[in-house]
Amino acid sequence: MRILVISNMYPSHAAPTFGIFVKNQVEALSKQGNEVDVAAINNPKMGKKNVLKKYSSWLLGAAKRLAFGGKSYDVVHAHYAFPSGMIARWFHRRYGIPYVVTCHGGDLNKMAKKGAFFQKQTERILRDAAHVIVVGRDLEEQVLHHFHVPEEKVSVFSMGVNRKVFYPRPQEEMREMLKLSPDQKHLLYVGNIIEEKGIGDLIEALALLRENMPETVLHVVGQPKQEEYFEKLKQRIQALNLTEHVKFQGSKSQTEVADWMSAADVFVLPSHMEGFGLVAVEAMACATPVAGTDTGGLMHLLAGDAGAVAEPQNPRSLAETIQKVLRDESYRRILVNNGKQQAEANDAENITANVLTIYQNAQQRQGE
């Protein structure tokens, strides 16, 4: 099968984790014997000038691909409804090629709500898609009831966790390798440093947590995408006297991220909105207990004590939740065991098989 994958997030050497979940799926599809081309943005830099430049180049490249050889694809898969799905729809309208859209969260929770134009474009993209994949139950509700996509055209599953990369390592060995003090409690956050991810709430929670547990430190793995917000964050860290206790580690490869996850006492995802929270499943696969917020797809992922749940945008609730995980050993064991089950349920190999079935069904319907 010849597949075109379109995404406004894709890794590069300079940004190895930017949309890494898309690259992982592309590689998995290729290993199944499919020919996969990628039309993607691999530059995470924001700011009006950067955004205009990278999106213009991306759209121009997609238009050229459409004009010269676009009809050779069997299926097009767009990650994020708008704008990636808009390009996929071009191929469908010109050549009749079926397209699949994966909604990851921000495309529906944020982009589609920017105004009437984005709302209408998203509706058209989802309506004309052969199939819509959503990574969380809250997104399914929106696609079915707000965008009126027929139920038979919608599937719910994550991008999947690669358990050949994310698996438990010996904690002491990882701490020694990463030069982490055995006398401290290590919290870990992995993701973009943006306001919506709740990193500011986590900083405030750390200050509260250290009142009772002064040995607690926070490691942040990821890159800032909002420079103004990052500067405010650093100022707040300084004002709270946390400069020595919040350690920004920059971007890491997936293998390095798995090392950090295995070394941590608790993985924390304090999001304000979250389509699914795949990074939390990756931590679960490393046998690390997860604390997160009761929001979006994350609330479903953490249900049934698969993770510890705090109120969104509530630093005190977050601090209390993390403290319980750190202090209650029996609770930690419950979280780890249930988290492993979530990791098994979201295994990437099973997800790839689901995606290929959706492609084949889309092709069959197109040929009818």
Q: Residues in the chain with pLDDT < 50?
A: none
pLDDT at 333: 97
- Sequence-distant (≥ 6) Cβ neighbours of residue 153 within 8 angstroms: 129, 130, 131, 132
Q: What is the DSSP letter of 11?
A: -
DSSP state of 275: S
**Could you tell me the residue ranges of all domains in the chain?**
2-160+348-367, 171-345
Q: Which helix or strand (DSSP H or E) is residue 217 part of? A: strand 216-221
CATH superfamily of 171-345: Glycogen Phosphorylase B; (3.40.50.2000)
CA 283 to chain centre: 13
Kindly state the tokens that stand for 258. 């798995």
Q: At which residue do the structure tokens 């995470």 appear?
A: 44
Measuring CA to CA, which residue among 47, 66, 55, 53 is closest to residue 8?
A: 55
Q: How far apart are CA 173 and CA 66, in angstroms?
A: 51
How far apart CA 164 and CA 141 sit, in angstroms, is: 32
What is the spatial distance between Cα 165 and Cα 21, in angstroms, rounded to a whole number?
A: 13
Q: How many helices (H) and strands (E) does the chain have?
A: 15, 12
Superfamily in which the 2-160+348-367 domain is placed by CATH: Glycogen Phosphorylase B; (3.40.50.2000)
What tokens does 111 get?
């982009």
Name the nearest CA neighbour of 355 among 76, 73, 84: 76
Query: What distance in Å separates the CA atoms of residue 38 and residue 351, rounded to the nearest whole number?
Result: 19
- Per-residue pLDDT, 355: 96
Enumerate residues 6+ apart whose C-beta is below 8 A from 349.
28, 160
Q: 83 preceded by cis ω (within 30°)?
A: yes
CA–CA separation, 265 vs 244, rounded Å? 18
Looking at residue 368, its pLDDT comes to 54
Are 2-160+348-367 and 171-345 equal in CATH topology? yes
Distance from C-alpha of 338 to C-alpha of 42, rounded to nearest angstrom: 35
